[in-house]
Amino acid sequence: MLMVHHDTGKSYLEQQNESHMEQYSGVNISNSMFPLPTNVCRVQQWDSEEPVPRAELLAGVAGTRGLLCLLSDRIDREVLDAAGPDLKVISTLSVGFDHLALDEIKKRGIRVGYTPDVLTDATAELTVALLLSACRRLPEAAEQVKSGGWTTWKPLWMCGYGLSDSTVGIIGLGRIVPLTRLAEESDFVVVTCALTPATQGMCNKDFFGRMKKTSVFVNTSRGAVVNQEDLYDALAHGRIAAAGLDVTTPEPLPTDHPLLSLKNCVILPHIGSATYATRSTMAVLAANNLLAGLRGEPMPHELKL
């Protein structure tokens, strides 16, 4: 979380060079991924990878002109009220924006920058990795090696489902297909859509009930798109074969959550965009969005409200 208290209208990040980009790679996000110029604006920075405590956020945000936040920072009416009328720009280090109270933000005339496109490849790679991990039972097989369960080669031991010659249904990409048809015909269902009122809880008991018993479900969008109780029931009772999740509700998922007790459910800690290069590019874009907004200029990527 960064809070900007003043801006002189000077340009800064347009002169990034390759050596400067290398400085960002693999470092603590709170230290140097957002090197906003102190001679251009006064920056108040939360120096930790953990979310800023709510009380400190509400106290620190007062009088700020700009906010640079993460998807773990809930920017709601309370935060906006605490910031006051000087707040002009919010820049989020994410492509998703369900953590932002967009109706309130729009009413106050606050501009919003976000980071689409630059994380597409990394998230696609992670989606394929998660799909293969779930369908080929990779975490379960690795655990067998560690626990001594690997005794000899066996014809059907650790068998899963292959991707070749299968039908992959992707929710959130390409031509619109009725959800019922996609669920019924797909060997793999991959969810990549945005979280909206229309998609919240969309993957539920009825949806899972229409899927094949041999099908695999993967979600790399937002956790709330899925009814997790219904997903657990479908996995536990063999109504679908397996699932891979990079997103959950809540995040982090409690360690005693029922889904974590299932061998046929692979859960990752929301790492879809987690490559050094992608996170560095996202950071620069988020900073550029913030500074452009403070200068009253077009943002590289502005969310149209």
270 is catalytic: yes
Tens of pLDDT along 49-66? 888 899 999 999 999 999
Give 40's pLDDT tier (boundaries 50, 70, 90).
low
Q: How much helix, strand and coil, in percent to the nearest 5, is found in the chain?
A: 35, 15, 50
Q: CA distances (Å), 79 to each of 34, 52, 90, 183, 266, in order?
A: 22, 12, 12, 40, 35
What's the confidence (pLDDT) of residue 39?
A: 59
Q: What domains sit in the chain, N to C, each tagged with a CATH number?
A: 2-117+275-303 (3.40.50.720), 119-267 (3.40.50.720)
pLDDT of 11 over the 60 cut: no
Structure tokens at 203: 């993957």
Please count the other Cβ atoms lying within 10 Å of the Cβ belonging to residue 10. Answer: 11
What's the confidence (pLDDT) of residue 147?
A: 97
- Strand partners for 3: 44, 67
What's the confidence (pLDDT) of residue 36?
A: 59
8 A C-beta contact, residue 66 and residue 290: yes
| Gap between the Cα atoms of 162 and 217, Å rounded | 14
Tens of pLDDT along 174-222? 777 899 999 999 999 999 999 999 999 999 999 999 999 999 999 999 9
Active site residue: 20, 237, 257, 270, which one? 270
What's the confidence (pLDDT) of residue 43?
A: 82
Buried b (16+ CB within 10 A) or exposed e, 202-230: bbeeebbebbbeebbbbbbbbbbbbbbeb
Q: Which residues in the chain belong to E strands, given as ranges?
A: 2-4, 43-45, 66-69, 89-92, 111-113, 168-171, 188-191, 216-219, 242-245, 265-267
Tens of pLDDT along 59-86? 999 999 999 999 999 999 999 999 999 9
